[in-house]
């Protein structure tokens, strides 16, 4: 008979998850020092929430009492389609379709219900980029991939275009092993980043310089120092993924909810520069882009018009 871990993984794959890894629920001691140093260096920029709930980020038992296992799951979102107008401002692939929080959260709840039916009385919680959980660190611990020099999780079979989600349970499951780092001597992501957000040695990101941070997280005016360095990205950025050799193995997703609005990739540069709130609401009705709001996206588009 299959173990509980094997049954859970089988069910997760049937729900469309690409990879599933399991780690023992315990405090992330090594990550604690790295997180503290990262915060002290101010690399989180204006993301004050990153400094909140420090202990909860590191100890899963503070989120689920008596937690024994952390399940990390990867869900593909890769869509190689690009705007028909080469001069049109760009959006990161992950935001093309319906907000991933909604799509993946439902799958997680269904999987948790399956686990409870299969294993009996079990307490657990689901997380998809919505709580103080260090998804990438847990994913690396459970062999879902390795943390690349661009700080994203990479899997040798598919690259890095996938979301991460976590389920914390109070039952012990068979655990998986970390994966070897296959970045080697490659520095393509470091060399390609136009704002120099990635440390020259890699594995460290100054988020306050990242285009994704500047176009999504930052609510204030984008600093003048980044004029002419945004590479035409108006929401998010995929540069470090586009140049990563491992993403030559990326495969297009099969999730209907991640398909872009029919008009999204057809809009040209002029359409975006003259964007109205009505069109914004229609194109991004259930999209993660709504996080930046109409005013935020307009700010980004206007900033892209300034070349120097």
Active site residues: 129
- Closest alpha carbon to 263 in 237, 287, 239: 287
Q: Is 188 exposed, middle or buried (0-12, 13-18, 19+ CB in 10 A)?
A: middle
Question: Do the strands 162-169 and 69-76 form a parallel or antiparallel pair, or are they unpaired?
Answer: antiparallel
Q: How far apart are CA 209 and CA 228, in angstroms?
A: 14
Q: How far apart are CA 74 and CA 125, in angstroms?
A: 17
Other CB atoms within 10 A of residue 106 CB: 14
Please give the full DSSP string across 74-138, using - where no structure is assigned.
Answer: EEE-------SSTTS-EE-GGGSSS-HHHHHHHHHHHHHHHHHHHHSS--EEEESSSSS--HHHH
- Closest alpha carbon to 9 in 143, 158, 157, 194: 143
The residue assigned the tokens 């991460």 is: 164
């Amino acid at each position: 008979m299959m173990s509980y871990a094997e049954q859970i993984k089988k069910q997760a794959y049937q729900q469309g998850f690409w990879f599933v890894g399991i780690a023992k629920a315990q405090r992330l001691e090594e990550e604690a020092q790295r997180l503290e140093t990262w915060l002290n260096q101010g690399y989180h920029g204006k993301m004050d929430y990153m400094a909140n709930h420090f202990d909860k980020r590191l100890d899963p038992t503070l989120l689920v009492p008596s937690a024994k296992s952390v399940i990390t799951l990867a869900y593909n979102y890769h869509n190689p389609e690009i705007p028909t107008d080469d001069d049109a401002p760009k959006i990161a692939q992950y935001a093309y379709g319906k907000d991933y929080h909604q799509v993946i959260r439902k799958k997680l709840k269904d999987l948790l219900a399956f686990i409870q039916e299969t294993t009996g009385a079990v307490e657990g919680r689901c997380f998809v980029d919505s709580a103080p959980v260090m998804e990438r660190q847990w994913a690396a611990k459970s062999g879902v991939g390795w943390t690349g020099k661009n700080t994203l999780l990479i899997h040798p079979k598919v690259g890095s275009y996938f979301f991460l989600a976590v389920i914390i349970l109070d039952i012990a499951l068979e655990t998986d092993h970390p994966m070897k780092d296959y970045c080697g001597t490659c520095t393509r992501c470091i060399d390609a980043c136009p704002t120099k957000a990635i440390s020259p040695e890699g594995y460290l990101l100054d988020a306050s310089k990242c285009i994704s941070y500047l176009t999504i997280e930052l609510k204030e005016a984008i600093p003048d120092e980044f004029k002419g360095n945004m590479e035409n990205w108006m929401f998010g950025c995929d540069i470090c993924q586009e140049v990563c050799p491992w993403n030559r193995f990326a495969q297009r997703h099969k999730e209907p909810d991640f398909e872009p609005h029919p008009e999204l990739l057809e809009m040209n540069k002029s359409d975006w520069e003259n964007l109205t709130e009505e069109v914004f609401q229609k194109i991004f009705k259930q999209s993660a882009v709504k996080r930046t709001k109409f005013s935020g996206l307009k700010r980004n588009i206007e900033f892209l018009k300034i070349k120097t």
